Structure 1
Amino acid sequence: MLDPSALTMQEGCYLNREVFIDNGPVALGRNVYMGPRSMIITAKHSIGGPEMRAGKGGPEPVVVGDGTWIGAGAIILPGLNVGAGCIIAAGAVVTKDCEANGLYAGVPARRVRDVDGEAAT
């Protein structure tokens, strides 16, 4: 269960159905939209011995910048920063920080193109 003090959301955020936000420090900027079944994971574990591979762990913070849109089923992994104005494509798995104003897609997610200044028509 999410500790309410571990999540900060700025004005205008929208969380669609079945969004999962792990129990750990998560900061969502202004106007962040999260599509259905998208996830932000904060729990991280080291690799343990053969008797228990999920070794010692703990939460690592995730920060999502203003105006970012996280598509349906996308996953953002622990300890990452997603820059302002990004689009994370549906089904993408974000394994590294995302620079601002980029469209990130794939598994693992990579920057596909710039979206600086674009608006839908």
Structure 2
Amino acid sequence: MPIIKPVNGKSPRIPEDCFIAENATIVGDVVMGSQCSIWFNAVVRGDVHFIKMGEKVNVQDGAVIHATYQKSPTRIGNNVSIGHNAIVHGCTIHDNVLVGMGSIIMDDCVVESNSIIAAGAVVTQNTRVEAGSIYAGVPAKKIKDIDEDLISGEIHRIANNYIRYSSWFK
């Protein structure tokens, strides 16, 4: 059974159509939209501030979603894939975003819609990732504009695949 527990009187709110892996952890002030999935060893920790996720968000194996105490909540839009072992901390991610494996998005960053954070990238505090772009590196910088093929071929494909994958476990 996953660890799903209240903290300071606030309990996670998880729609019934979401998939939560047996060893995932979700605690505190976490609100998820429909068709989300939280995968093996992922942690969504809404103990120090709120975490709000839209619809069709997948938090892949080993990823950590957290916030900063009384300062920076975490907001995640619709159709967002958070790759294996990524860290998303006290930031805002808009719709249609792919957060690559092992990447880190730090406090008070804003990742605008239709963007990709490359695997292993470190998006440092207060960075604004402009809509329709790919950011990579340490620290992450814009490397190019994204085209419609990447939006449909990667961002939408991966989010939709995770809805399919989660159906295998329900």
Shorter-chain-normalised TM-score: which range?
0.7 to 0.9
2:98 aligns to what? 69
**What's the % identity of the aligned pairs?**
32
Q: 2: distance between equivalents of 1:35 and 1:117? A: 21
State whether residues 85 and 116 of structure 1, in contact with CA within 8 Å, keep that contact through their aligned partners in structure 2: no
- Partner SS, residue 73 of structure 1: coil
What is the letter of the counterpart of residue 72 of structure 1?
M
State whether residues 101 and 119 of structure 2, in contact with CA within 8 Å, keep that contact through their aligned partners in structure 1: yes
> Quick check: which one's helix share is greater?
2
Q: Unaligned regions of 5+ residues in structure 2, if any? A: 1-26, 28-44, 155-170
Matches within 5 A, 1:19-58: 19-24=63-68, 25-42=73-90
What is the letter of the counterpart of residue 93 of structure 2?
V
State whether residues 9 and 27 of structure 1, in contact with CA within 8 Å, keep that contact through their aligned partners in structure 2: yes
Q: 2: distance between equivalents of 1:10 and 1:22? A: 16
Structure 1-normalised TM-score?
A: 0.77
1:118 aligns to what? 149
State whether residues 51 and 66 of structure 2, in contact with CA within 8 Å, keep that contact through their aligned partners in structure 1: no
| Paired residues, number | 102
1:80 aligns to what? 109
2:55 aligns to what? 11
- Partner SS, residue 78 of structure 1: coil
User: Which structure exhibits the higher relative contact order, with contacts defined as CA atoms closer than 8 Å and separated by 6 or more residues?
Assistant: 1
Q: 2: distance between equivalents of 1:114 and 1:11? A: 25
Root-mean-square deviation (CA, aligned residues, Å) is 1.8
What is the letter of the counterpart of residue 29 of structure 1?
G
Distance apart, 1:118 and its partner CA:
2.6
Structure 2-normalised TM-score?
A: 0.56
Q: Unaligned regions of 5+ residues in structure 1, if any? A: 43-61
Q: 1: distance between equivalents of 2:123 and 2:66? A: 15
2:140 aligns to what? 109
Q: Is the deviation greater in 79-88 or in 110-119?
A: 110-119
